[in-house]
Chain A
Amino acid sequence: MQRIRLRYTKRGRLRFTSHRDFQRAFERALRRSSVPMAYSAGFTPHPKVSYANAAPTGVASEAEYLEIGLAAHRDPELLRKQLDESLPPGLDITEAVEVRTANFVERLEASEWQLRLAGVEPAEAAAAVAAFLAAETVEVQRMTKNGLRTFDARGAVAAFEVDSAQVGNGNDTGTESGSDVRTATPCAILRLVVRHATPAVRPDDVLSGLRATADLAPPVPAEVTRLAQGPLDEESGTVTDPLALDRAAAPAGQ
């Protein structure tokens, strides 16, 4: 069985798809594009697809990953194109690599997030970030299935800064020099790197942390985008490509 790892996006209005919504849409795309899926054995066979670390509903992403098993061999790039055409624009398959290595999910050590805070002055955001980073621990609360839980949002943060370039990520929210070009109101863009830990610390937890440490309360909900997930370079606080190992292991000529 050939296995292929895919990177996909949730862009624009399709950031409102939940993980379940995406799963259904993806499995239908598999059927429409006649991908020769491998099926699980058993009473109700289902296609072999495994998903890793889905971003929450309402959060955009440039870097979601999944893996599929095929019953017949396919060229990864052709397969990528075929699937991408079958999915609605916004759910895009951006990379496909044949699986050569194990333990992929363990390689997803951290995520890089972009937080776009409309109505917040970059200087104010920078001060809040500094206060957050200066704290040893930042206690936040979140509603979970088991009720309200309190945990530390600081420990998992590997990097956090105001994006000096102040450039949007291309999803029609272009921003320049600290203000939103559409409305000419101030806008701060933050870059955040969070280690995948237990309990998981999500961007909204860090935002709650900013409120707790620096009383920063954006007037409108932050627009959050996952830019990358993968191995963490602790030194530089950057996230690297999780598919690099598979590419490197590919036989020459591919």
Chain B
Amino acid sequence: MTVESVFPRLEALLPHVQKPIQYVGGELNSTVKDWDACDVRWALMYPDAYEVGLPNQGTMILYEVLNEREGVLAERTYSVWPDLEALMREHGVPQFTVDAHRPVAAFDVFGLSFSTELGYTNMLTALDLAGIPLEAKDRTVDHPVVLAGGHAAFNPEPIADFIDAAVIGDGEQAVLDITEIVRAWKAEGRPGGRDELLLRLAKTGGVYIPRFYDVEYLPDGRIGRVVPNRPGVPWRVSKHTVMDLDEWPYPKQPLVPLAETVHERMSVEIFRGCTRGCRFCQAGMITRPVRERSITGIGEMVEKGLKATGFEEVGLLSLSSADHSEIADITKGLADRYAEDKVGLSLPSTRVDAFNIDLANELSRNGRRSGLTFAPEGGSERIRKVINKMVSEEDLINTVGAAYGNGWRQVKLYFMCGLPTETDEDVLQIGTMAKNVIAKGREVTGTNDIRCTVSIGGFVPKPHTPFQWAPQLSAEATDERLAKLRDSIRGDRKFGKNIGFRYHDGKPGIVEGLLSRGDRRIGAVIRAVYEDGGRFDGWREYFSYDRWMACAEKGLAGTGVDVDWYTTRERTYEEVLPWDHLDSGLDKDWLWEDWQDALEEVEVEDCRWTPCFDCGVCPQMDTTIQIGPTGKKLLPLTVVNS
């Protein structure tokens, strides 16, 4: 296998493609290591365009963690746009890494991070361009181990045919453990070939190797059981959880792209996990328990990261950043520290309370004051009980009142459509809420020039959540419901003009739903879509619902199941779910009870501030909640100018 750079051949193609800079590498803080000085080599892919993939924190962290190790090398690769794909096929240029432009097929491990299922067809494109057989069963000892991670890997069954392995949970420690296994196997002269390497990985209990499990189906199409077909392979594969984030201060040297990307800022993860218990939120469920980075740990990462990158904005990342136990001290401390340097701070937060306005004031002190965003998620009080989003309309009105009073003129509200038990009435109340928000804004500011934008996404039931059993609303019903809401907003004389309305039609949600809760039979559908030209399914301009439906009909012919069976069908307690053998730590009975609570509109508290309610994660994964306050402060630093 030759590992020469393909750059000279690629370079000749670049004058003919859009945004060539994304393919040339050389980003600040990127690493190119000597190929021959390393014995374990990873190609890491975020299977979307560079502009989306480069800022991905997960990939950036693994890239740095691996490259820090002696004898280990990691390079990055992203999906190429269709214009370059066509030229690469024409000129025989393989899928390459952007770091040293080495062919992906030459690496030991090809690791892909899936934050969404819509990257599956891009994985097939990359495998094919790399010259790696699409199906795992056709690969030889010389092909890389194709390894999936990221949130979508919590149900890797739809891509089981294409991947060799999947890892669920935090990747930092896991990639190092896998590296050691690969290293030992190579050092021994690769005994037993590919099969033995995969077996060694499977035996750890933390790497899922789909081929070592057989799926048996019942006559009605449901799964009968999933059984290991090799001795020594565990019945269930466990998720990985990194404890003490202060020990993993990555990325230390964030990558700074030359090309424009979706996030032009430096991100610091301030905690991982969320225990608010929103029942639709897969990220919240599968990343439990909550683990905070300390205020001083955050301060250090921001300081070093800014020095290393020169970014003008810092994003404090997490699933609900206002929930950090010392968030007020963190934001004030950072705003004080960087007052002179014009560094902006941003904080994605969905929490709807007045406290957020104080934070927002603090954050906008050094920079611009853009719109404020809140996520009540559901329009009616009733539906918010179903989804366990404990926000009252009164809270919301008070909060936005405070925002308008503090000089904000734009408030954005996020909602979902198609939630379990939802009726037209629940969705129409989104309009009512928006009107009340504007009325309050007018009252507080004394002007009519107030805007409120409602943004609505379709709800997709996800594995490892209480809604994993729920029926998904069909695309047609979603569209009808949203059309009613749109008409009622547009028809309103007093407020209609001040309400912005953004929504997605129901079609992409159905495909996402099919892939989210699919089983191994969906592999044929994904392959058919890829072969029919499907690429970049997360991009409106490339996504084709009709293609997916046509390919699903073909791919599922003879199985007795169809798209509706996977999406709009409600599951029962007894049904074996395709991901039941992947252990996220959540107790299935607890999830079921929570689903029943949802139907009865009963809420649960957050276990951070109330006693444990036995979701199962902590005892199962041997983890604990880690939260402050530490009582420490961030002191302003004096910048020493040379």
Contacts and interface: CB of A to CB of B under 8 A. Distances in A.
Interface-central residue, B14, B19, B258, B309, by most chain A CB under 10 Å: B258
Nearest to B13: A221
Interface stretch (A29-37, A148-156, A240-248): A29-37
Contact of B20 (A16, A32, A36): A16
Interface in B1-45: 7, 11-12, 14-16, 19-21, 23-28
A181 to B, nearest CB: 14
B642 interface: yes
Given A14-B24, A14-B26, A34-B639, A24 B11 contact: no
A44 B26 contact: no
The majority secondary structure among interface residues of chain B is loop
A25 B258 contact: yes
Interface-central residue, A16, A45, A89, by most chain B CB under 10 Å: A16
Interface string A26-62: 0111111010100100011100000000000110000
Given A24-B260, A28-B311, A31-B310, A16 B367 contact: no
B368 interface: yes
Interface string A102-114: 0000000000000
Interface in A63-94: 82, 86, 88-90
Interface residues of B, number: 34
A34 B25 CA distance: 25
Contacts of B20: 16, 57-58
Nearest to A86: B310
Given A16-B21, A24-B264, A28-B311, A221 B15 contact: yes
A175 interface: no
Nearest to A25: B258
A28 B310 contact: yes
A88 B26 contact: yes
A90 B368 contact: no
A90 B21 CA distance: 13
Given A31-B312, A44-B368, A18 B639 contact: no
Interface string B613-642: 000000000000000000000000001011
Interface of B: 7, 11-12, 14-16, 19-21, 23-28, 256, 258-260, 264, 306-312, 341-342, 367-368, 639, 641-642
18 contacts: A13-B11, A13-B26, A14-B258, A16-B21, A24-B258, A25-B256, A28-B309, A28-B311, A28-B312, A30-B310, A31-B306, A31-B311, A31-B312, A32-B309, A34-B639, A36-B641, A39-B342, A220-B12
Given A28-B256, A28-B309, A86-B310, 16 more contacts: A13-B11, A14-B24, A14-B258, A16-B14, A16-B21, A16-B23, A16-B24, A21-B259, A27-B312, A28-B28, A28-B310, A32-B308, A32-B309, A82-B642, A88-B26, A221-B12
